[in-house]
Structure 1
């Protein structure tokens, strides 16, 4: 095979893997849709965020998957824009922090910390903003009060479900990394 053919195969493979992961993320989210949205959620597809630790193509794939899944979000445009941007930021950070790390377990730990801190902080801010502007589909916080108190309330309610999703996804991705080179 000449270099031109190899580049074409490589681009086709990248595009295909991006599309498959985006579709998988959206499909898993929509399967659990009633519990995949809102301030208390169990979005099992979030376990796929660990893939960003292996290849930057998954930053695009996961962001596209989030955008597709959020098209059915009760918060509408706010989730389309800020939910997708949140994924770009947290998976991009994961890729950046893990790009020179070889250990799959360490990649998953760093990914988990990135998502639980940066990702959930941005998502809590999204919910706080949506509630503050009385957006359609926004969720009332547990209490009235300052923006900080509302943000903290959302953050605390988001982390447990996200942690469960990341642990389940981490186990699957770790096992997969033993059989498949996820960086290719």
Structure 2
């Protein structure tokens, strides 16, 4: 059964599902290869650069969320990281799309996305406080800075790629 929208085009094409799966797989691969710095109270999760893809197409909200969901099974606190990290990612990427929807300049969208995503790390800091009794404010600061660094570095990778590859398609 092929579901279609009002213009009689497929809602879920094979190509769209494949692109979503590739993003999820890349997220997992990068996170696991860099596992020693991808988890914990001080972390640099470079796969977070894929958050920028949500600016180009909503399918990537699902791809990144699925990647977070799967990668977090490798976390020492996976029972909490899987649901909290996944839900946090989903909600933050929806928020990012909403906040940046009317902004034309992609560079401004990148800056806003990096800031929102870094601030959103309060959810992970709260989880670490609750699970491991790590001080909330220090955890939020270190994870937020790590997230901001990951996003800035990722911006220097994803933005030039977006100039060569149509990420909106």
Q: TM-score, normalising length from structure 1?
A: 0.82
Report which of the two structures shows the higher radius of gyration computed on alpha carbons.
Answer: 1
Residue aligning to 2:27: 25
Work out whether residues 112 and 166 of structure 1, in 8 Å CA contact, stay in contact via their aligned partners in 2: yes
RMSD: 1.7
* Partner SS for 2:131: helix
Residue aligning to 1:121: 122
Map 1:74-153 onto structure 2 (within 5 A). Answer: 74-117=76-119, 119-132=120-133, 141=134, 150-153=135-138
Deviations 1:19-61 (A, max 9, x none): 0000000000000001110010111101111111121111110
Map 1:65-76 onto structure 2 (within 5 A). Answer: 65-76=67-78
Gaps of 5+ in 2: none
Work out whether residues 94 and 111 of structure 1, in 8 Å CA contact, stay in contact via their aligned partners in 2: yes
* Partner SS for 2:57: coil
* Partner SS for 1:178: helix
Q: How many residues end up aligned between the 2 structures?
A: 163
Deviations 1:153-183 (A, max 9, x none): 1101112221211011111111112122222
User: Residue 171 of structure 1: which of 143, 151, 156 is its match?
Assistant: 156
* Partner SS for 2:150: helix
Deviation at 1:8, TM superposition (A): 4.7
Q: Which runs of 4+ in 1 moved over 3 A?
A: 6-10
